[in-house]
Amino acid sequence: SQELEQSPQSLIVQEGKNLTINCTSSKTLYGLYWYKQKYGEGLIFLMMLQKGGEEKSHEKITAKLDEKKQQSSLHITASQPSHAGIYLCGADMDAGGTSYGKLTFGQGTILTVHP
């Protein structure tokens, strides 16, 4: 089973709609990373969250890490076709946060935005 579960697995929205992608772990997360990937390309870093309750925003994308540090959400406001792609959460799941880049990834969420 996946250590990090993302939901939904895929999402189709109309341009302008808001959407949320969730990333859930059964273990405490010591660092949570959100990446975006376009098909056939590498991963592009979006945001990193480390503290429980932390929230970060970049343009129309907001990510939060819950207080218990076991779930993160990525919210896109007023989606655009340029937001389409695969969103991946990656986490440092090593106690003490010493895994130094040994990120465990979720399976990804495929986002399609129709104009």
Partner 1 sequence: EAGVVQSPRYKIIEKKQPVAFWCNPISGHNTLYWYRQNLGQGPELLIRYENEEAVDDSQLPKDRFSAERLKGVDSTLKIQPAELGDSAVYLCASSFEGLAGAGELFFGEGSRLTVL
Amino acid identity of residue 89, one-letter, is C
How far apart CA 67 and CA 49 sit, in angstroms, is 12
Instruction: Indicate the SS3 state at residue 82.
Output: helix
Interface with partner 1 in residues 14-33 (CB under 8 A): 33
Instruction: Indicate the SS3 state at residue 81.
Output: helix
Which two three-digit tokens encode residue 19? 């959407």
The answer to whether residue 100 forms part of the interface with partner 1 (CB under 8 A) is yes
Of 13 and 43, the one with the shorter C-beta distance to partner 1 is 43
Which among 12-20, 39-47, 57-65, 75-83 is the span making contact with partner 1, rule CB under 8 A? 39-47
How far apart CA 110 and CA 27 sit, in angstroms, is 24
Give the number of other CB atoms < 10 A from CB of residue 57. Answer: 12
The answer to whether residue 45 forms part of the interface with partner 1 (CB under 8 A) is yes
Give the number of other CB atoms < 10 A from CB of residue 86. Answer: 18
The answer to whether residue 115 forms part of the interface with partner 1 (CB under 8 A) is no
The answer to whether residue 1 forms part of the interface with partner 1 (CB under 8 A) is no
The answer to whether residue 111 forms part of the interface with partner 1 (CB under 8 A) is no
The answer to whether residue 82 forms part of the interface with partner 1 (CB under 8 A) is no
Binding site for partner 1 (CB under 8 A): 4, 33, 35, 40-45, 48, 88, 90, 97-98, 100-108
